[in-house]
Amino acid sequence: MISEFPLFIFTLLGGAGAGSYLFLAIFPSKKKAKPWQAPLIVILLLAISGLALLTHLGHPERMFLAFSNPTAGITIEGYAMIGFGVMVAIDLVMSIVCKRSNKAVKVITAIFGLLLLLAMAYAYASFLAIPVWATWQTYGMFVIGGLAMGSLLSALYVEGGFSERALLATTMVLQVLMAATLVLEGAVFASEGYTMIPFVLGSILEIASAAIVFIGRKGASWAIPLSLALSVIGIAIARYAFYSVL
């Protein structure tokens, strides 16, 4: 197991949850779905990823020492996650109490989600001690990756799913962009003597995910969960290789 496994879990699950809110804020929720279902799922993802982040330094209490350095990547990630988590919690409570979602709250939450994705990317792109991390491709790995997974996760709760043309087009573009990003990231790793096979494999799975999205655009019930699984697995394989350099 890689030494940075807690960060692997944190960025994978937290990134998917953060990315989903951009689409939950734009597209209408399913009429039959409870308004609290989507924020509850994201809260659960954040809870798991947050616990993983706490174990990163070996002892949870060390995280509080890390927060004493406001410019540290892990500190920026932590603050961004707290802000996003608070907004998701507000959205969840309002959805339960008011029995409907609040558009303004979802938009603000989506902004915090995007900031979290940027914070994740910055934490590694600014880590100059590891050359393969300190590249612009790292931003694609985390920002596009989070949005790619998030668009598929949100499709479970958006009215019409992939039959919503704007969501369909955006999701397919994101999967293709992620596939290209993984190849570019793999090339960076290869230039430093690492294998790019995991990144190529991840790219293939992202293309497969985009294909499933297109095939299931008429409302096939299996399309969303299958495309989501392929995308998450593809990104997870590449992300695992990303952390394995330590």
Domain that holds residue 175: 5-243
pLDDT of residue 3: 72
Tens of pLDDT along 77-114? 888 999 999 999 999 999 999 888 899 999 999 999 99
Residue 158, strand partner residues: 29
**Is the alpha carbon torsion for 229, 207, 43, 104 positive or negative?**
negative
pLDDT band per the 50, 70, 90 thresholds, residue 26: very high
Q: How many domains does the chain have?
A: 1
CB 132 within 8 A of CB 192: yes
Tens of pLDDT along 120-170? 999 999 999 999 999 999 999 999 999 999 999 999 988 878 888 899 999
pLDDT of residue 24: 93
pLDDT of residue 34: 83
Tens of pLDDT along 37-72? 999 999 999 999 888 877 766 666 556 666 667 777
CB 159 within 8 A of CB 180: no
pLDDT of residue 29: 80
Q: Is 70 exposed, middle or buried (0-12, 13-18, 19+ CB in 10 A)?
A: exposed
pLDDT of residue 80: 93
CATH of the domain at 179: 1.20.1630.10
Compute CA distances 65 → 68, 69, 72, 203, whole Å: 5, 8, 11, 38
Tens of pLDDT along 156-193? 988 878 888 899 999 999 999 999 999 999 999 999 99
